[in-house]
Structure 1
Amino acid sequence: MTLIDLSALEACELHNDPFDYIVVPDFLPPEALARVNADYPAIDTATNHDLADLRYGAQFSTFLGELQTSAFRQALGDKFGVDLTHCPTTITVRKYCEQSDGNIHTDHWSKVITVLVYFNESWEHEGGRLRMLRSEHDLEDYTAEVKPLGGQLLAFRRTDHSWHGHKPFVGERRMLQYNFLSSSKLARVSQKVNRFGTHFGKRVLGIGQ
């Protein structure tokens, strides 16, 4: 029995305003979400964690395996019209959000497609809802606002104008980030340097992103 609903990804609409993105409700159907959440990694800090640093149960591991299949990679690439065949990937997992999170930004230039999967059973908070923005200057100038509801997948193509952010929220906000990176050597090196700097700033210096 599979956990993810690949047909939901294949059937979803590709939005182009203000940049290319998709939203897939029930990418993890409710019953599958409950199983994966029961095996979610035990995390007690508000930062992104590499999988190698985490412990998690069998259902979460199964979900990760399905997410990293060639079938998912192909379906995602087809949706965006991008060949992801040879793209390296990174996966990080998060459980808590802090006041400094959500500032308007585009992702690092080495990223091709960013995938976010949420695991929160409900979301009534005004903060923490990711907005697709028209510029880097105004959080209120957005074309879509996505609640981080459990089972939902959000993915977007990284560009120089793929601005996004959310209003501040402090508390539990479960999320997995899956990035497809440029296959160029320079991009891989730059991504490693960027991730080290982010890790150092968040863990050691206490600097928010």
Structure 2
Amino acid sequence: MELAKYYPEEQFFHKTGAEWTPMTGPCLNEKIGISGQLPLKPVWNNLIVELRSSTYRYALEELTKLNLENHFLQFNFSRYNSGQRGTIHTDPPFASLVQIFYFNEEWNRDWGGCLRILKDENPQSVFRDILPLLGSSIIILPSENSWHTVTPVIPEVNRTRLTFVLIFFQQSAEAVLYDIFKQQKLLFYKLD
């Protein structure tokens, strides 16, 4: 698939936390960010146009029974290299819907790097592990009980877990995201 082939190169990613945390790539936001040329190939720009369309929004509303009309979008890229993992968390309350797309043509469960859905905040309360395979995605409806993490990518694996995340934020999130943008100096690009 062309999207996997043209996934943003590693130079566009940087650390925002501890060594074991994933590499954070460009964030594309409808409300905040710098203007300028996005570091993406046309195939990615085409996908973003499609995901921003009213047709796609309506399909998600039908699927989830949410009203996403007064929301704005953000797209994030993440790379999990050997030895990296996620933290156990729920997504912020000002995010109404999170959709994660995966771009690994091949992935073995033994390598780690699975999205782990938990029954609660206990790391042993595993509900399901989801492989990060090309052509699959998952939707999370954030709540105080939507616990999840990414299992550690084992050090022996010479593979990178590639994800692209779509987030529908409530309008009240703009100020919070702007503060994050300023503090972490993340690569936020404002979408036209």
Shorter chain as denominator, the TM-score bin is: 0.7 to 0.9
CA contact (8 A) 2:99 2:166 kept: yes
What is the RMSD computed on CA atoms of the aligned residues?
2.4
So what's the TM-score if we normalise by structure 1?
0.70
- The separation in 1 between residues aligned to 2:148 and 2:54, in whole angstroms, is 28
Q: Which has the higher helix share?
A: 1
Match 2:164 to one of 167, 172, 176: 176
Which position in structure 1 is the counterpart of 2:6?
Answer: 39
- The alpha carbon displacement at 1:53 in A equals 7.6
Which position in structure 2 is the counterpart of 1:128?
Answer: 113
Which position in structure 2 is the counterpart of 1:50?
Answer: 27
- The separation in 1 between residues aligned to 2:82 and 2:97, in whole angstroms, is 25
Q: Are 1:149 and 2:137 counterparts?
A: no
- The separation in 1 between residues aligned to 2:81 and 2:52, in whole angstroms, is 25
Q: Which has the higher strand share?
A: 2
- The alpha carbon displacement at 1:194 in A equals 4.0
- The separation in 2 between residues aligned to 1:43 and 1:53, in whole angstroms, is 17
Consecutive unaligned residues of structure 2, counting only runs of 5 or more, are 14-22, 29-35, 188-192
Which SS does the other structure have where 1:191 is aligned?
helix
Instruction: Calculate percent identity across the aligned residue pairs.
Output: 24
Higher RCO structure, 1 or 2 (CA under 8 Å, sep 6+): 2
Q: Are 1:166 and 2:150 counterparts?
A: yes
Aligned residues: 165
Which SS does the other structure have where 2:171 is aligned?
coil
- The separation in 1 between residues aligned to 2:5 and 2:126, in whole angstroms, is 34
- The alpha carbon displacement at 1:98 in A equals 6.0
Q: Structure 1 residues 142, 92: CA separation in 2 closer, same or farther (over 3 Å shift)?
A: same
So what's the TM-score if we normalise by structure 2?
0.76
Q: Structure 1 residues 195, 135: CA separation in 2 closer, same or farther (over 3 Å shift)?
A: farther
- The separation in 1 between residues aligned to 2:92 and 2:141, in whole angstroms, is 12
